[in-house]
Amino acid sequence: MAQLSDLTERVERLLLRHDELTRTNTLLLEQVAALTQERDSLRSRLNAARARVDALLERLPVETPKEDA
């Protein structure tokens, strides 16, 4: 009977551990989703900033090299 009791206790602990790991996994998946969204937003902002810098560079006058006299 002691073996059955020990086995039951171990199974219950495993079930609790499984529940903990499932909750942890869910939280981690939520964090990954949030970080992925933040990364995508930052990439979008970076691309917009690059486009603005490129547009400003296009507006700069082109200097011709001066000849030595």
Sequence length of the chain is 69
- For every residue of the chain, DSSP letters joined together read -HHHHHHHHHHHHHHHHHHHHHHHHHHHHHHHHHHHHHHHHHHHHHHHHHHHHHHHHHHSPPPPPPPP-
Specify the pLDDT at position 5: 93
pTM of the predicted model over 0.85: no
Residue 69, pLDDT above cutoff 80:
no
Amino acid at 64: T
The mean pLDDT value for 55-63 works out to 93
